[in-house]
A = this chain, B = another copy of it.
Amino acid sequence: MNARQVYFVSDHTGVTAEVLGHSLLARFGDVPVRTTTRPFVNTLERADALAAELSGVPDRPVVFSTITDIGVRERIAAAPCVHLDLFEPFLGALEEVLGASPQARVGAYHGIQDLASYQARIDSVEFALSTDDGSNVRRYGQAEVVMVGVSRVGKSPTCLYLALQYGVRAANYPLAEDDFERDALPEALSPFEGRLFGLTIASRRLHELRQQRRPGSRYAELRRCEYEVRQAERLFRLHGIPFQDASSLSVEELAALVLQRAGLERHR
C-alpha cells in the first residue's frame, strides 16, 4: 500500500497544523502516511504554486490547513485535495459565545504577540540553560521548580520544554555518589526544599541510556544504576519530595505532570 501524502499548510509557522494534524493521524496509527509541512503560504502566488504541486500528487493528498487569509484559503480549498480547514469548524461557535468577529491575524499565537511576555519565555530558556545540571545554584531562588534526580533521568529536556512551551523557570540538579554515600540531599538544595521535584526511572532503562553514553563504564553498570535509583527514591521519600517515574514518558508528558503535581502556573 502506498503511503498517503499529507500536507500541513499554513500562512505562518505551520506548528498548529502540525500538532493537530499529527494528533488526528495518530488516531489512524496503522495507515502509512508521508507528511510535509508548507509554512508561510501567505500570498496568492504561493497558494497557486502549492495548488499546482498538489495537483501533481497521484492519490488525492490530505491537506490540514490553518490559513486566515480568505483568498489564500480559497485557492487551497479549490485544489485537488481533501482539504481540512482546522479553524473553520470552530469560528462560528466562538463568534457567538465571545460576541466578536474573528480577525485575520496571521499566526498571532506562534509569533510575538506581546514582547514582554515573549521575552519572559526566552529568559526562562536562558535560565534553564544557565542553571542546568547544578550550575549557578545562586540563581535557584528564581526557579519555580527545581528538578532533581540521577544522571540521565531526563531532567534537562524536561526543564527546557517547560521553559520553551510554558515560560516556566525550571532549574535542575543531579543527585550523585556523594549524596548517596552521605544519604542526604545536597546541602546546596536545602533552601529550595519546597520547590524540589524528583524524577526517577526503571534501573534497566537507566542502564541502557548510560550504556549509550559510556559503554562498559562503571557509571553504566546495572548494579550501579539499581543502587542510585534506590537511593534517590529513598531521599525523595525521606524529604517528602514529590517524584515521577520517567521511564516511559515523553518530555511533553513529564512537563504536563510536573505542572499539575507541583501546582505551577502556565505562563502561556
Q: How large is the interface on A (under 10, 10 to 19, 20 to 34, 35 or more residues)?
A: 35 or more
Q: Once the chains bind, are A90 and B100 in contact (CB under 8 Å)? A: no
Interface residues of A in 92-106 (CB under 8 A from B): 93-95, 97-100, 102-105
Task: Determine the distance from Cα of A31 to Cα of B101 in the docked complex, in whole angstroms.
Answer: 10
What separation, in Å, do the CA atoms of A105 and B31 have in the docked complex? 14
Are B113 and A26 touching (Cβ within 8 A)?
yes
A24-B60 in contact given A122-B154, A164-B251 (Cβ < 8 Å)? no
B residues near A49, Cβ cutoff 8 Å: none
Identify which of A15-23, A71-79, A183-191 touches chain B: A15-23
Contact partners of A260 in chain B: CB under 8 A: 39-40
Q: Residue A234 at the B interface, CB < 8 A?
A: no
**Which residue in B20, B28, B94, B157 is a CB contact (below 8 Å) of A164?**
B157
A240 to B259, CA, bound (A): 44
Residues of B within 8 A of A28 (CB): 94-95, 98, 100, 102-103
Once the chains bind, are A125 and B157 in contact (CB under 8 Å)?
yes
Q: Distance (Å) between the CB of A159 and the closest chain B CB?
A: 10
A40 lies within 8 A of B4 (CB): no
Measured between alpha carbons, how far is A129 from B34 in the docked complex, in Å? 30
Number of copies of this kind of chain in the complex: 2
Q: Least Cβ distance of A34 to chain B in Å?
A: 11
| Residues in B neighbouring A31, C-beta threshold 8 A | 98-100
Q: How far is the CA of A160 from the CA of B132 in the complex (A)?
A: 14
**Are A27 and B112 in contact, CB atoms less than 8 angstroms apart?**
no
Given A13-B252, A28-B103: A22 and B157 interface contact (C-beta under 8 Å):
no
The reply to whether B90 and A256 contact each other, CB–CB distance below 8 Å, is: no
Bound complex: CA A27 to CA B66 (Å) = 11
Whole-angstrom CA separation of A122 from B259 in the bound complex: 20
Q: Give the complex CA separation of A176 and B104 in angstroms.
A: 41
Besides the contacts A13-B252, A27-B94, A89-B89, what 4 more A-B pairs have beta carbons closer than 8 Å? A15-B165, A84-B94, A110-B250, A111-B250
Closest 6 CB pairs of A and B: A26-B108, A89-B89, A13-B256, A27-B102, A110-B252, A26-B109
